[in-house]
Amino acid sequence: MDIGYARVSTTKQDLGRQLAALEAVGIPREQIHVDKKSGATTARPGLAAALTHARAGDVIVVHTLDRLGRTVRDTLNMIHELDQRGVGVRNLADPIRVDSSNPADPMSQLAVVMLALFGQMERTYAVERAAHARIVAAAAGKRTGRPSVVDPDTLEHAVLLRDNGATMAEIAAKTKLTRSTLYRHLPPRPATASQGASIVRSKVDLR
């Protein structure tokens, strides 16, 4: 049995084009599940219903593959998981036609392989963009990653303990902060007189 799935990102968008395409290939309206939610939203009741109702030998049919997953990798993972259940996936309007329900068709298998390659490229580019963004932010003196959730009073206590000679292990035990958090958030130790003298001597030696 073919099970249709259609999705638009907002309630203001129209499902008509996708529904018409699915009905045109013989899928009755009662077998088409719909969502009006962004692909980034994990809670999609229409998709969940389609996946729940699908049995071995059934095929999930979509207008385009981006209706299924937020990224190529998401879609590819879903195709793989459905394949393990004996459920196929077929698209109608993408330039690359996929029909994982027909393993004897070499072009369908090639399409899945191409999707895997695109998924890997997508992941590689995302990692490179994130790394570049961190480098640019660090050069501009900006912090990256999640905002700090360390309580200022706790951090102040940690600074006081350190300045009084406590080790990192002792500070971690008393503040309940991990060592990695302490290393990340503790400000540098103020230079001591002996350290300052050492720096001056080094500068003199270099002249």
Which of 9, 38, 148, 198 is catalytic? The answer is 9
Token pair recorded at residue 204: 């003199």
108 flagged as catalytic: no
2-122 folds as: Rossmann fold (3.40.50)
Specify whether the CB–CB gap between 15 and 35 falls below 8 A.
Answer: no
Main-chain dihedrals φ then ψ at residue 12, nearest 5 degrees: -85, -15
pLDDT at position 19 is: 95
Asked whether the predicted pLDDT for residue 196 surpasses 70, the reply is no
For the chain, state the CA radius of gyration: 28
Q: What pLDDT does residue 189 have?
A: 61
Residue-wise pLDDT for 1-34, tens only, equals 999 999 988 777 889 999 999 999 999 999 999 9
pLDDT at residue 41, as a whole number: 65
Residue 164 reports pLDDT greater than 90: no
- Summarised one tens digit per residue, pLDDT across range 112-147 is 777 766 656 666 767 777 777 778 777 777 666 555
Q: How many CA atoms lie within 13 A of 80 on its CB side?
A: 11
Q: Strands 59-62 and 2-8, how do they pair? A: parallel
The whole-model pTM stands at: 0.55
The answer for residues whose C-beta is within 8 angstroms of residue 42's C-beta and 6 or more apart is none
Burial 172-184 (b: 16+ CB within 10 A, else e): beebebeeebbee
Phi-psi region of 203 (alpha: psi -120 to 50; beta: other; left: phi over 0): alpha
What is the rounded distance in angstroms from the CA atom of residue 123 to the CA atom of residue 71? 9
Specify the higher pLDDT residue, 190 or 55: 55
The predicted structure's pLDDT at residue 50? 93
